[in-house]
Amino acid sequence: MTNDANSAVVRVEGLRKRYGDVEALRGVTFEIRAGEVFGLLGPNGAGKTTTIEILEGLRQPDGGTVTVCGMDPAREPNALKQRIGVQLQATVLPDKIRVEEALALYAGFYQQSASLEMLLSRFGLAEKRRAFFERLSGGQKQRLALALAMVNNPELVLLDEPTVGLDAQVRRDIYELIERFREEHRTTLLTTHYIEEAERLCDRVAIVDRGQVIALGTPRELVRSSGKGTRLEVTLAQPVAPERLKQLEAVSDCLEAGGKYILHAQPPATGVAALLRFLEAERNTLLDLHIAPPTLEDVFVEMTGRRMEDA
């Protein structure tokens, strides 16, 4: 497993893919450095899964160049599979296969494999080793999927939406496992549409929208570059047109979402004071105010004009 921080395990340049009239990827370019957790962040349909499937050798690109672990996935898929681990969005196994049987089966696909006992212990499956797949909970199935991705001790791990549909506690458990990958200097590619997931786990993030990379950098760099100022999440007793709140002093924009108003203000104290004066004049009531620094969600809104969950 390489740990040269200056080397690129994955290089993607000008990647294109079309399905009929739909252009799923429109010139995607990025690279993943050895040992980092790299995130593809974007809404459903942005092109994340198509990208990762091309990297795995499951799909052929229509244009551009791709290099994974020094190989072309389209020309050397069998050799590449010995060096990567893959967790797809859905892992489907026979209902009656036992956990330890699934691990042994997958281990047989590779020239080398990790210790199955170690995998059972590491992924919290030791007590479920004899359990049928159909008897596992959603979180246990996802931990098994991660264990299967690690069965060949890969130098690159590709995780496609690893926590989708899981409850908060199980998500945190999966986060801890992925953070272990970083501690081991194991290169990891993670696709997600969860903002907090990308901010917590990823060393660098490529924000993807409609088949294009619209921003790339560390979460801190991307947030710092947004220039939107402090985020104000406001709940009011009576509805107000967002355009009116956007005109308040020090407020740069306003978006209504789920009954809340999301404003950005710089400086925030001036924006809050202007908001309170406005509400007093309108005889409206402030029910709740939450002040927070900008997030990657704000970067996405700034660049696309819509929230990620609405895209």
Q: Is a pLDDT exceeding 90 seen at residue 100?
A: yes
Does 109 reside within a domain?
A: yes
Q: Determine how many CB atoms are found less than 10 A away from the CB of residue 242.
A: 16
User: What's the CATH code of the domain at 278?
Assistant: 3.30.70
CA distance 212 to 82: 29
Does 218 reside within a domain?
A: yes
Does 272 reside within a domain?
A: yes
* Higher per-residue confidence, 212 vs 311: 212
Q: pLDDT band for 311, please (50, 70, 90 cuts).
A: low
pLDDT of residue 97: 97
Q: pLDDT band for 298, please (50, 70, 90 cuts).
A: confident
Does 300 reside within a domain?
A: no
pLDDT of residue 88: 87
Which residues constitute the domain of residue 244?
Answer: 228-293
pLDDT of residue 2: 43
- How many structural domains compose the chain? 2
Least confident interval from 107-116, 120-129, 240-249, 292-301: 292-301
* Higher per-residue confidence, 227 vs 122: 122
Does 303 reside within a domain?
A: no
In this structure, are residues 121 and 151 in contact, taking their beta carbons and an 8 Å threshold?
no
Q: Is a pLDDT exceeding 70 seen at residue 51?
A: yes
Nearest to 35 by CA among 67, 68, 8: 8
The arithmetic mean of pLDDT across residues 130-142, rounded, is: 94
- Reply yes or no: is the peptide bond before residue 239 cis, omega within 30 of 0: no
Q: Are residues 174 and 250 in the same domain?
A: no
Q: Are residues 218 and 254 in the same domain?
A: no
Does 305 reside within a domain?
A: no
Q: Are residues 53 and 116 in the same domain?
A: yes
CA distance 12 to 48: 13
171, 193, 223 - which closes a domain: 223
What's the burial of 108, exposed, middle or buried (CB within 10 Å: 0-12/13-18/19+)?
exposed
pLDDT digits (tens, 9 = 90+) for 77-98: 999 999 999 998 888 899 999 9
Whole-structure pTM value: 0.85
Q: Is a pLDDT exceeding 70 seen at residue 6?
A: no
Q: Where are the beta strands (DSSP E) in the chain?
A: 8-19, 22-33, 37-41, 63-68, 84-87, 156-160, 187-192, 204-209, 212-217, 230-236, 251-257, 260-265, 286-292
CA distance 137 to 122: 17
pLDDT of residue 1: 47
Kindly write down the DSSP assignment for every residue of 228-247, as one continuous string.
Answer: --EEEEEEESS---HHHHHT
